[in-house]
Amino acid sequence: MKAVFNNFMGVIAMLLLVVHTLIIGIFVFTCVFWRLVLSERLRVKLVNPAIIGVANVWLGVILWWMRNVQRIEWDIENEVELSLDQWYMVVSNHQSWVDIFALFHVTQGKIPLLKFFIKKELAKVPIVGQAWWAMDYPFMQRHSRAFLAKHPEKANDDLIATRKACEKFSHTPTSIVNFLEGTRFSPDKQARQKSPYKHLLRPKAGGIAFAIQALGARFSSMIDTTIVYQNQPPSFWDLACGRVGRVSIRMRHVEIPAAFISMDYLDNRDDKKAFQLWLHQLWLAKDAQIAELKSRPSA
């Protein structure tokens, strides 16, 4: 009976989310219109703050629902001093769509609105895709190996897009989120990669390397974030139905070595090797932390 009730509440939650998003969409498309017709100076001064405000309203309602209706059990430890006036690089493991809302839960109103690297296909999602475009979220084109074999000149497209996006971010305090694994963790993906980590996929270094090269001197902190679910990683449907359980989040400051800010990741093999080794050490520590959190008894 409880499962039936949870599923019913999930349907209600999804319907309310659609209605909420459609209402917000009116303001999103208004901002998109003015972004297209106004000069760059007015876009920066008027449209950018407006679309950020619209996004915060959309998120605020969802986060209120998560905190007061879903009553997720949050286990949060944050060692980082946060500010709305600084630049942050946020790195995290990735298991579920719920990770995104978990990150917003711990950062909303404390640091600049999180900006993610988005798959290009998601730009077509109604309302949300247009909002991402208006807020200058970088869109990534994931080419297959077969495609790259025929078009090797496209191999660095994502890195170039990252560099261009970071150049825009250099003018306004920004929080850049990078799920270094590049995809959601699963045992099958872990096996295919022959990952050396027990709870993680191999980190992808290119995107974060370019972000650090472009903005490293501005970052007040690199926030190493670890997310662990008490149960199996929840789907978005699990979130809607109230089946998330306890979520443990750990946030710590990691110093970005000064040498990486001026490195040439693309063309210098020594720089690339040193940076990848640094990420490997970061991932080993994260893997151990995940194991420790998973070993804790359920409440």
- Return the CATH number at 99: 3.40.1130
Q: Would 45 be classed as within a structural domain?
A: no
Strand partners, 229: 247
Confidence band, pLDDT 50/70/90 cuts, at residue 102:
very high
Can you tell me the mean pLDDT for 50-79? 92
Q: What is the pLDDT of residues 161-206, one digit of tens each?
A: 777 777 778 778 889 999 999 899 999 999 999 999 999 999 998 8
The three-class DSSP label of residue 29 is: helix
Confidence band, pLDDT 50/70/90 cuts, at residue 253:
very high
Q: Would 117 be classed as within a structural domain?
A: yes
State which residues form the domain around 171.
73-294
The three-class DSSP label of residue 229 is: strand
Closest alpha carbon to 221 in 174, 273, 289: 174
Q: What is the pLDDT of residues 132-160, one digit of tens each?
A: 888 888 777 766 667 666 767 766 676 67
Whether the predicted pLDDT of 128 surpasses 90: no
Strand residues in 93-203 grouped as ranges (E):
114-116, 118-119, 139-140, 175-179
**Number of structural domains, the chain?**
1
Position 29 scores a pLDDT of 93
Q: Would 32 be classed as within a structural domain?
A: no
Position 145 scores a pLDDT of 64
Position 70 scores a pLDDT of 85
Q: Would 83 be classed as within a structural domain?
A: yes
Tell me the range of 26-35, 161-170, 202-211 where mean pLDDT is highest.
Answer: 26-35
Contact assessment for residue 280 and residue 108, using Cβ atoms and an 8 Å cutoff: no
Q: Would 211 be classed as within a structural domain?
A: yes
Position 90 scores a pLDDT of 96
Whether the predicted pLDDT of 124 surpasses 70: yes
Can you tell me the mean pLDDT for 256-267? 87
Q: How many CA atoms lie within 13 A of 286 on its CB side?
A: 32
Q: Would 3 be classed as within a structural domain?
A: no
Whether the predicted pLDDT of 299 surpasses 70: no
Lowest-pLDDT choice from 95-99, 265-269, 280-284, 291-295: 265-269
When the pLDDT of each residue in the chain is averaged and rounded to a whole number, the result is 89
Position 143 scores a pLDDT of 62
Position 298 scores a pLDDT of 65
Q: Would 36 be classed as within a structural domain?
A: no
Q: Would 12 be classed as within a structural domain?
A: no
Closest alpha carbon to 107 in 169, 61, 63: 63
Position 154 scores a pLDDT of 67
